[in-house]
Structure 1
Amino acid sequence: MHEPTPPTTLFERTGLAYFPLALVARLPFAMMVVGVLTLVVSARGSLQLGGISSAVVGVGSAIVGPFIGAAADRYGQRIALLIAAVTHSAALVGLAFIAYSEAPAWAMLAVAFAVGATSPQPSPMSRSRLVLIIQNFLPPERRPKVMSQVLAYESAADEVVFVFGPVIVGILATFFGPRTPILAAAALTMLFIIAFALHHTSAPAKSAAERAATLAPASELARPSLLVVVAGIAGVGLVFGTTLTSLTAFMQGLGRPESAGLFYGIMGVGSAILAICVSLFSPRFTLRYRWLVFGLFVLGGEAIIATASTTAQIALGLGITGIGIGPLLVTLYSLGTARSPEGRSATVMTMLGSGIVLGQSLSSAVAGTVAENVGVAEALALPFFAASFTMLAGLVNWVLTPSGSGRDQ
């Protein structure tokens, strides 16, 4: 009898069902920040408290998310995800009811922090799984191209989910009440995060001996060349948060706040399409160049938005921003993958994912406050400063990773 031939392609190793499962598993995470904002504003009648609640969710995710990734690296993704799924669902249900109770605001904010802290981080976990499969099971000559394609797909999937997550929240809240998106996110978490955790691709736990041999010291996570990537991707989160919030304020001034999501989709859809195209780029167009080139598109698009007075100008600015933001995300995740210390892949991916959520939630709260208390024109200028921060991080990366250092690819 002949032994079965080991799988040599990514699809053979994962199975086709993996990708739709991993995609739907991201939805609760994408619904979380906007869902909390919608719930709290409806329940407590305060836009400011809603913004603070969303920011607290982001802070919880940013602080605890990397520890969930570290637990996955140390004990395996399965147990880390199962515990996170159960606790996150409980926190979501708790928030859905405490928001409408007589409980003080601080108690509700504590539960909002728990919602963020327990979020299962499916997107970073998926990236980590696929990266490990490519590095360990695919033929060496095919790894660079497949890695580029996978990271491009993962970023495009994030873009699609982050665009449609708020839309789903809006539809559910409009037709079934403000509690519904949060309760739906809890149900999706229990169903799809648990299925994602139990999927055969889940990274297994390591023995103490394996951890000693393959787990780099945690101190290596503080290397400047890795931290600058985290800073850059947090800047992308700042762009997301300021752009959506200032756009909403602008459309509200025109009496069409419900159109904000439609306009935001101009950036999201274009960004997702271009993110997929990254795998077609020449290897000579290295990552340090890509960061600056695509960062310039984001900066240019947001400069147009900062000076916009018509919806046509807004749409043009969003379109140009979309050209840059998707490839920029792929570039940053690629750099994070390349610079991950040995055995710390899930930790690094959750650091990057938490950076986006933290940037998005904090900047949403700031932009909402500016729009309400200072003016819409001033709020529209904030995305430009967010894009400038990402460009500054790209320049620091350029200095830290000179050509030929082996870290510029």
Structure 2
Amino acid sequence: MLQPRSSDASLIAHAGRSYFPIAFIARLPFAMMVVGVLTLVVASRDSVALGGINSAFVGIGSAVFGPMVGAAADRLGQRKVLVPVGLANGGLLGVLPFVVQSAAPDLAVLAMSFLIGATAPQVAPMSRTRLVAIIRQRMSGDRRERVLSGTMAYESAADETVFIIGPFLVGLLASAIAPWVAVAGASVLTFVFVTAFALHPTGKLSAGQHAVVAQAPARELLRPRLVVVVAGILGIGFFFGSTLTSLTAFMEIHGESSQAGLLYGLMGIGSAGLALGSAAFPKTFGIGWRWLVFGLVLLGGAVAFASADSVLAVGIVLAIMGVGIGPTLVAQYSLGSDRSPVGRSATTMTILGSAVIVGQSLTSAVVGEVAERSGTEAAMLFPALSAALVVLAAVVNLVLSRRDQRG
């Protein structure tokens, strides 16, 4: 169990040294699912469009059931929810390669993809919920704001890093061994690390928190200031999906489609570093303005991506785009945490996490179809459209914030 500690102790001391590595690795299967399914289906059934549709079904399953998983965790506690969900998800991932490589109809593969999304363990939002609970309950008031800011920066950097590492691992395993190995690896990671995360002592802390705090009405989740954050992070999901799928189509032209995940990993170079560095930004550089400024960096890189015509040029542009992603995610998750209705933090964070994978999945399907019907050049326009949504949501967020300040 968690040991009582002084309010001056560090967050690592409060959570335990094993917590952060377990929570980080437990996120990887979630980040590998969409790309793993896409790569496996494309390789086994020779159709980018079918692979994209299956990726979309993963996202649809997560969109439908992800918030329910978060709501159940708010009410019942994380352990009671994560253990059975994680075991079910690990089993489904383990079975998927056999179904895809068999003579089973495409509809059976789609059903499996949907179930994988529906049982996706929501580790990242639940980790945020646990750490916020520790900060608010066990740290002195003069430290909370600074530690919370640093924690949101770390959590966003961890999310961004796994969403880069995940596809990178899929590409590495697919090109070095076989596409099914990546999905099988995600299954093993789910069984081991999601279970370890679920059983970690911090899982009891968040449950105890919600047991003594009355929940705000569910309609509070529909407040415009929270909805605009969901829209913005959905745009990041759109960006991830459209970039990876169009990149896969681009690399397929160059005869190396399985290596798209390796090239995609270049975005993580600047992204993770700047996400971690977000805690050092001055207070005068407000969270809303950070979202807008780095969203514009993302948009500029996406426009350049659309016109890139060589593997080298694409690699350079991907590294530039990474600079915009990390701080943008930090800003969005920080705002989501601040605006979460009372007693519904796991639900809110799960909605935000689901928005990323939903956006990634839907654009994987759409851009995969566009790539087959209209060509790679048309597909490579979609990251810019996605980044434009991120910027638009940032502008709306600033308008709503200013209106609330005047009110």
TM-score, normalised to structure 2, is: 0.93
Alpha-carbon distance in structure 1 between the residues aligned to 2:100 and 2:252: 25
Give the equivalent residue in structure 1 for 2:350: 350
The 3 A distance-change label for structure 1 pair 204 and 79 is farther
Give the equivalent residue in structure 1 for 2:153: 152
Counterpart contact for 2:172–2:259, Cα < 8 Å: no
Give the equivalent residue in structure 2 for 1:65: 66
Q: Say if 2:224 is the partner of 1:224.
A: yes
Give the equivalent residue in structure 2 for 1:405: 405
Counterpart contact for 1:74–1:205, Cα < 8 Å: no
- Deviation, 1:259, is 4.8
Q: Say if 2:129 is the partner of 1:112.
A: no
SS at match of 2:341: coil
Give the equivalent residue in structure 2 for 1:142: 143
Q: Say if 2:186 is the partner of 1:188.
A: no
Specify the code of the residue in structure 2 equivalent to 1:237.
G
Alpha-carbon distance in structure 2 between the residues aligned to 1:314 and 1:44: 27
Deviates most, 303-312 or 373-382: 303-312
- Deviation, 1:238, is 0.8
Alpha-carbon distance in structure 1 between the residues aligned to 2:264 and 2:78: 33
**1:288-333: CA deviations, max 9, x gaps?**
2111111111111111112223344433432332221100000000
SS at match of 1:343: coil
Give the equivalent residue in structure 2 for 1:324: 324
Alpha-carbon distance in structure 2 between the residues aligned to 1:255 and 1:182: 22
- Give the fraction of aligned pairs with identical amino acids, expressed as a percent: 51
Counterpart contact for 1:336–1:348, Cα < 8 Å: yes
The 3 A distance-change label for structure 1 pair 256 and 109 is closer
- Deviation, 1:191, is 1.0
The 3 A distance-change label for structure 1 pair 29 and 301 is same
Alignment of 1:124-143 (within 5 A): 124-143=125-144
Specify the code of the residue in structure 1 equivalent to 2:394.
G
Unaligned runs of 5+ in 1: none
* Aligned residue pair count: 404
- Deviation, 1:210, is 6.5
TM-score, normalised to structure 1, is: 0.93
Alpha-carbon distance in structure 2 between the residues aligned to 1:167 and 1:316: 16
SS at match of 1:38: helix
SS at match of 2:203: coil
Alpha-carbon distance in structure 2 between the residues aligned to 1:130 and 1:250: 40
The 3 A distance-change label for structure 1 pair 219 and 174 is same
Alpha-carbon distance in structure 2 between the residues aligned to 1:316 and 1:180: 29
Deviates most, 392-401 or 381-390: 392-401
Counterpart contact for 2:31–2:166, Cα < 8 Å: yes
Give the equivalent residue in structure 2 for 1:278: 278
Specify the code of the residue in structure 1 equivalent to 2:11.
L
Specify the code of the residue in structure 2 equivalent to 1:11.
I
Q: Say if 2:246 is the partner of 1:246.
A: yes
SS at match of 1:193: helix
Alpha-carbon distance in structure 2 between the residues aligned to 1:339 and 1:317: 34
Alpha-carbon distance in structure 1 between the residues aligned to 2:327 and 2:207: 34
Give the equivalent residue in structure 2 for 1:314: 314
Alpha-carbon distance in structure 2 between the residues aligned to 1:38 and 1:4: 47
Give the equivalent residue in structure 2 for 1:338: 338
The 3 A distance-change label for structure 1 pair 49 and 258 is closer
SS at match of 2:372: helix
Give the equivalent residue in structure 2 for 1:35: 36
**1:353-372: CA deviations, max 9, x gaps?**
10000111111221222122
Specify the code of the residue in structure 2 equivalent to 1:267.
M
The 3 A distance-change label for structure 1 pair 275 and 180 is same
Deviates most, 345-354 or 306-315: 306-315
Give the equivalent residue in structure 2 for 1:98: 99
Alpha-carbon distance in structure 1 between the residues aligned to 2:78 and 2:5: 27
SS at match of 2:79: helix
Alpha-carbon distance in structure 1 between the residues aligned to 2:372 and 2:282: 46
Counterpart contact for 1:75–1:204, Cα < 8 Å: no
Give the equivalent residue in structure 2 for 1:382: 382
- Deviation, 1:212, is 7.8
Counterpart contact for 2:72–2:81, Cα < 8 Å: yes
Alpha-carbon distance in structure 1 between the residues aligned to 2:351 and 2:298: 22
Counterpart contact for 2:90–2:187, Cα < 8 Å: yes
- Deviation, 1:403, is 7.0
- Deviation, 1:182, is 2.0
Unaligned runs of 5+ in 2: none
**1:83-114: CA deviations, max 9, x gaps?**
11111122223323222333322222112101
Specify the code of the residue in structure 1 equivalent to 2:70.
G
Alpha-carbon distance in structure 2 between the residues aligned to 1:102 and 1:221: 44
Give the equivalent residue in structure 2 for 1:18: 19
Q: Say if 2:203 is the partner of 1:202.
A: yes
Alpha-carbon distance in structure 2 between the residues aligned to 1:166 and 1:283: 34
Alpha-carbon distance in structure 1 between the residues aligned to 2:183 and 2:55: 13
Counterpart contact for 2:75–2:210, Cα < 8 Å: no
- Deviation, 1:4, is 7.3
The 3 A distance-change label for structure 1 pair 28 and 282 is same
